[in-house]
């Protein structure tokens, strides 16, 4: 190799190394761009640990200089060459529509929920609804459809649409048969003559949110504003989450609807940020108290719901912390979740102390070889709820079947209905039917309690022998 060629190779290597170091060296001036949609800000690891290298890598990957510009360039290259972006979280559809890649499993009905998971989800929702209604609190559940579930005409042709096997389609008749108060947003939005989701975002527009509010409050028989009669204007000023995923430093805007009618409610928690995990509002001109559990589809829905109630509490809590309904003394509870997160509801049982059953019809006979387990969050209960959870005998229980926790001290016996499912979440054991129940201090007197469980299969209830003991002080 002659000296000239060797020198040229060295120059190339040095130039390449300098180019690679630029994002690191210029971080103090051109790094830390706030471009992640819904992501957490990266922070420098505070101290050395066994995850230090991984944490440093994560920190650098989110804060290096010109990150946004480089992501933009990469997206344009991929889209220009292939008319789709196989690496981005956003899918480029027809006519410039963007879709969230995480919804593909629902769209193609791959990796669907099992029949047992669906049954447990319905059981938990119906159990929660029954308990709230027993406390004179109305309950409504709804699913915000994935964008491609409604507007598949703009999806790339290479993705096969499977409607019948989707979680949402299989869940709908189960909800109806169980008597869960369910608002079907799929049918409602498909009946409209216009697209009510953003072109460059995964969520519904303000007009879509107003339509959703109308359906929810109709179900709750709550008097409210009919926005179909309200004048509005369309502005091209909305920043779409899907667009920002691939173009974090570009400035293309999406259209949104803005009604002439002004909101009169005020924020008492959340500082007006509709993405906050907990929001409280008040409206002096309205009556009623609402608790709404929601996800990111609640961003646009929150103002419309808050406008119609004297007080609202909008929460992102998951599992649903239904204790809030009691603490806030609400009139109604609305649970909204996006279609692609239905599996989370099957894994995470609601958090609430169900009222002890007054006349439980459980067998007296105890089965010694009932293979179940009992665990508690705390062995001693003082002034907070005790979580009792564990596993049921798979041969003496079935998905969606009733389950109970039984606490006995002398002649005193308290029976509490349990939520179902969530094997990994509730018990840490795979493929084993799980349960969870919560008990309030005022339901128990001080002393030692024997704990057993009961479960139902094929119409027969099986009661275990004593599985554990707890002490109440």
Q: Which domains does the chain have, with CATH numbers?
A: 98-347 (no CATH), 375-472 (2.60.40.10)
Rounded to whole angstroms, the Cα distance separating 140 from 440 reads: 25
Task: Give residue 380's pLDDT.
Answer: 43
**Phi and psi dihedrals of 412, rounded to 5?**
-85, 130
Given the DSSP bridges, would you call strands 460-463 and 447-457 parallel, antiparallel or unpaired?
A: antiparallel
Task: Give residue 179's pLDDT.
Answer: 97
| DSSP helix/strand/coil, 141 | strand
Answer for the pair 314, 278: CB distance below 8 angstroms, yes or no. Answer: yes
Rounded to whole angstroms, the Cα distance separating 301 from 142 reads: 13
| DSSP helix/strand/coil, 134 | helix
Answer for the pair 278, 270: CB distance below 8 angstroms, yes or no. Answer: yes
**Phi and psi dihedrals of 80, rounded to 5?**
-65, -35
Q: Which two tokens stand for residue 281?
A: 């509002």
- The CA–CA distances, whole Å, from 286 to 110, 146, 223 equal 45, 32, 10
Q: Which of 306, 314, 261 is nearest to 282 (CA)?
A: 306
Answer for the pair 363, 322: CB distance below 8 angstroms, yes or no. Answer: no
Partners of residue 403 on adjacent β-strands: 455
Q: Which of 63, 410, 89 is nearest to 242 (CA)?
A: 89
Q: Which of 309, 381, 394, 317 is nearest to 349 (CA)?
A: 317
Answer for the pair 426, 435: CB distance below 8 angstroms, yes or no. Answer: yes
Rounded to 5°, angle at Cα 404 from 402 and 406:
160
Q: What is the mean pLDDT of each run of 10 residues along the chain (473 residues)?
A: 70 74 64 50 59 63 56 50 55 92 92 91 96 96 97 92 86 97 98 96 97 98 96 94 67 92 96 94 96 97 98 94 92 97 86 81 92 76 70 93 93 91 51 85 82 95 94 81
Q: Across 78-178, where does the E strand assignment appear?
A: 90-92, 98-100, 138-144
Longest dimension (CA), the chain: 98
The position carrying tokens 């108060």 is: 181
| DSSP helix/strand/coil, 185 | helix
- What is the full DSSP assignment across 379-397? SEESSSPEEEEEE--TTS-
The position carrying tokens 């190779």 is: 9
End-to-end CA distance of the chain: give it in Å, rounded: 86
- The CA–CA distances, whole Å, from 260 to 230, 233, 341 equal 7, 8, 34
Q: Across 53-154, where does the E strand assignment appear?
A: 90-92, 98-100, 138-144
Rounded to whole angstroms, the Cα distance separating 163 from 112 reads: 12
Task: Give residue 70's pLDDT.
Answer: 53
Answer for the pair 118, 174: CB distance below 8 angstroms, yes or no. Answer: yes
Query: Based on C-alpha coordinates, what's the Rg of the chain?
Result: 27
């Amino acid at each position: 190799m002659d000296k000239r060629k060797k020198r040229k190779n060295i120059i190339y290597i040095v130039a390449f190394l300098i180019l690679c170091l630029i994002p690191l060296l210029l971080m103090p001036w051109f790094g830390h761009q706030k471009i992640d949609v819904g992501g957490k800000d990266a922070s420098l690891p505070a101290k050395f640990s066994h995850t230090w290298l991984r944490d440093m890598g994560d920190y650098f990957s989110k804060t290096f200089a010109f990150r946004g510009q480089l992501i933009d360039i990469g997206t344009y290259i991929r889209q220009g060459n292939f008319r789709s972006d196989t690496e981005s979280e956003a899918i480029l559809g027809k006519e410039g529509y963007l879709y969230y890649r995480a919804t593909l499993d629902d769209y193609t009905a791959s990796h669907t929920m099992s029949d047992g998971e669906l049954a447990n989800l319905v059981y938990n929702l119906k159990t929660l609804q029954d308990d709230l209604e027993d406390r004179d609190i109305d309950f409504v559940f709804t699913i915000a459809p994935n964008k491609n579930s409604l507007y598949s005409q703009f999806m790339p042709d290479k993705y096969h649409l499977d409607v019948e096997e989707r979680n949402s389609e299989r869940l709908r008749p189960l909800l109806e048969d169980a008597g869960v108060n369910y608002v079907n947003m799929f049918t409602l939005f498909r009946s409209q003559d216009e697209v009510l989701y953003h072109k460059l975002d995964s969520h519904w527009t303000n007009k879509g949110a107003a339509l959703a509010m109308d359906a929810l409050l109709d179900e709750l028989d709550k008097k409210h504003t009919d926005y179909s009669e309200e004048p509005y204007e369309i502005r091209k000023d909305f920043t779409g989450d899907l667009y920002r995923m691939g173009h974090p430093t570009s400035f293309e805007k999406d259209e949104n609807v803005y009604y002439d009618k002004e909101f009169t409610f005020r924020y008492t928690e959340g500082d007006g940020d509709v993405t906050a995990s907990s929001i409280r509002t008040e409206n002096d001109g309205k009556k009623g108290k609402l608790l709404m559990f929601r996800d990111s589809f609640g961003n646009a829905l929150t103002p419309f719901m808050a406008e119609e109630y004297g007080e609202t509490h909008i929460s992102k809590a998951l599992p649903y912390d239904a204790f809030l309904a009691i603490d806030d003394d609400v009139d109604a509870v609305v649970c909204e979740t996006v279609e692609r997160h239905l599996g989370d509801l099957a894994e995470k049982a609601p958090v609430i102390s169900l009222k002890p059953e007054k006349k439980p019809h459980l067998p007296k006979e105890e089965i010694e070889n009932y293979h179940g387990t009992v665990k508690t969050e705390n062995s001693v209960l003082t002034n907070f709820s005790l979580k009792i959870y564990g596993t049921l005998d798979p041969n003496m229980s079935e998905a969606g079947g009733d389950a109970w926790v039984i606490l006995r001290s002398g002649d005193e016996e308290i029976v509490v209905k349990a939520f179902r499912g969530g094997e990994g979440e509730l018990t840490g054991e795979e493929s084993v039917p799980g349960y969870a129940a919560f008990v309030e201090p005022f339901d128990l007197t001080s002393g030692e309690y024997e704990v057993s469980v009961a479960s139902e299969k094929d119409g027969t209830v099986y009661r275990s022998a004593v599985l554990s003991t707890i002490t109440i002080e």
